[in-house]
Structure 1
Amino acid sequence: MFVKRLIDTTEKGFLIIIALFTVGAMAQEVMLLIELRKVELKDLLLMFIYAEVLGMLGAFYSSHRIPITIPLFIAMTALSRLIILQGKDGDPSILLYESGAILMIAISCWVINRLRERE
């Protein structure tokens, strides 16, 4: 009993730290964008990743579980951001691998949602 309570408390503590660090990173990004007076697509995707992390934490606190699709959405957004950061100077084969990974994750999300509908 004590060990389970200790693990649960530790888990909740780390989730609070992750939430605080995510909000801090988002605030730093906003301050940088204000200082630079320029917002690009890569910046918006990064902010979306931060928002999804907070959404995932909120989903965990409300239901005590994390829907598998939320980390998959974060992964797709992170891969999209990576593609944008590489620009047109990158190796085209890497672009195909990354976009193929996004397609595979998107298909996985679709399959998961179809399976949930059948329940």
Structure 2
Amino acid sequence: MNPQPSKSRVVAIGGRMLSWIEVLGLVAIAIATVVAGIQEIIEMVSRREVGLGDLLLLFIYLEVLTMVGIYLQSGALPIRMPLYIAMVALARHLILDMKEITETEIIATSAAILILAGAVLLIRFGHVRFPYHLSNRDEGAP
């Protein structure tokens, strides 16, 4: 009998450990996002005012939670989700900091939003025009 564990067993154990670490990280992100959302709601209630920036921030939190949920369910992250979050974050930046930023920064931020929107459209077009099928390995088959 060989006293050393086989390479495939070590790889399997390492894979399981990384999966657990990944899940713990995702749970930590979800908890932190929920806490941040609750803090934002408490702040809005204490101010007795809800602004567009507050709503956009809550929307970002919701998108992060959706992204974590999709990743936990499918094990894959659609690249469009972070792009949506980035677009909303840039729009929020424009709305909240409009008075403090220069015209050049406004144009650059707007251009960045347009580039991200174009990237989303390109990705969607690519998925429709050039669909891909999961391989047996991607589906979890040995």
Q: CA deviation at 1:89?
A: 3.8
Aligned residues: 119
Provide the rounded CA distance (Å) in 1 between the counterparts of 2:101 and 2:21. Answer: 42
**Counterpart check, 1:94 vs 2:105:** yes
The ranges of structure 1 where at least 4 consecutive aligned residues each deviate by more than 3 angstroms after the TM superposition are: none
Partner of 2:34: 23
Structure 2: unaligned runs, 5 residues or longer: 1-11, 132-142
Q: CA deviation at 1:28?
A: 0.5
Task: Indicate if the aligned counterparts of 2:98 and 2:106 stay in contact, CA closer than 8 A.
Answer: no
Task: Indicate if the aligned counterparts of 2:94 and 2:106 stay in contact, CA closer than 8 A.
Answer: yes
**Counterpart check, 1:68 vs 2:79:** yes
Q: Which structure has the higher relative contact order (CA within 8 Å, separation 6+)? A: 1
Partner of 2:9: none
Partner of 2:51: 40
- Letter of the 1:72 counterpart: L
Q: Deviations over 1:80-119 (max 9, x none)?
A: 0111121234211000100000000000000100111122
Structure 1: unaligned runs, 5 residues or longer: none
Secondary structure of the 1:67 match is coil
Change (3 A) 1:15 1:91: same
Provide the rounded CA distance (Å) in 2 between the counterparts of 1:15 and 1:58. Answer: 9
TM-score, normalised on structure 2? 0.82
Q: Deviations over 1:57-86 (max 9, x none)?
A: 111111110100000000000000111121
Tell me which structure has the larger Cα radius of gyration. 2
**Counterpart check, 1:85 vs 2:96:** yes
Provide the rounded CA distance (Å) in 1 between the counterparts of 2:99 and 2:21. Answer: 44
- Letter of the 1:108 counterpart: A
Provide the rounded CA distance (Å) in 2 between the counterparts of 1:82 and 1:42. Answer: 8
- Letter of the 2:107 counterpart: L
**RMSD of Structure 2 on Structure 1 (CA):** 0.8
